[in-house]
Structure 1
């Protein structure tokens, strides 16, 4: 089950479509859907989590806590809407595309993909693009 929670005034306009797409992303990786919660917040909220739980004193767009057991993926994915908006401008993409990228990014972490080294990061970007393309197929 995919849940959306809001700690800011942002609200996804198409929760049902997004949830269906994320379910398809999970299935495309041959994983089972467990309990996945997305929490949309602002920079300040996510910065506190980054410092408290990861000991990183930086701003970030997404932090995912992975509770996956075996083939059933579960987790909490915190997304800073402010960072996503800024990144969309920096990467010259729409906000909608960038929000899909971070939504998929969390799922991909739960599926075992990492993004620490150059090779891992390149594979993560490739997978994100592949999963964003699924959204257009699902509609």
Structure 2
């Protein structure tokens, strides 16, 4: 089994690490991904916006960024997820924050598998794959606010 590390680096929002790792392992198995190491890093909007600017020269907020750390062989990668964006998207799309966090983990794993979402057709295909995965994991990922 692949090494999966979860990092909660958002100041006011957290996910339950076991829940996120379990979802990632299930998707990896179902999608038959060969993964040697995976880091999933939960951050806030400011952190991910800075990464977006630094690596993609785009100053806008984003919900997820994926970095493949090798070109060949088993996947070695990092998935950065903004919990601020996950919470905002959950409200916008009328889904639970738990399901939106799950969608973003799945989205990142699909990117590491080689899926892209630059065109409308690619976006449609990724969304279909995400929805199929989400249907298998209706519990989502445990998510809570620590900013009280």
Q: Would you say same fold, with TM above 0.5?
A: yes
1:21 corresponds, among 20, 23, 28, to 23
Check conservation: 1:23, 1:33, Cα contact below 8 A. Answer: no
In structure 1, what is the equivalent of residue 15 of structure 2? Answer: 12
Q: Deviations over 1:40-75 (max 9, x none)?
A: 111111111111111011000111111255452221
Which residue of the other structure, out of 93, 96, 106, is the alignment partner of 2:95?
93
State the structure with bigger RCO (CA 8 A, min sep 6), 1 or 2.
2
Give the CA RMSD over aligned residues. Answer: 1.7
Separation of aligned partners in 1, 2:41 and 2:5: 8
Q: Larger % of helix: which?
A: 1
Residue 67 of structure 1: which of 62, 66, 69 is its match?
69
Deviant stretches of 4+, over 3 Å: 68-71
- The runs of 5 or more residues in structure 1 that have no matched partner are none
TM-score, structure 1 normalization: 0.89
The two structures have a TM-score, normalised by structure 2, of 0.84
Per the TM alignment, residue 97 of structure 1 is displaced from its structure 2 partner at its CA by 0.6
**Aligned positions of 1:1-139 closer than 5 A:** 1-9=3-11, 10-13=13-16, 15-136=17-138
Q: CA deviation at 1:20?
A: 2.4
- Unmatched tracts of structure 2, length 5 or more: 140-148
Equivalent position SS for 2:137? helix
Alignment coverage as a number of residue pairs: 136
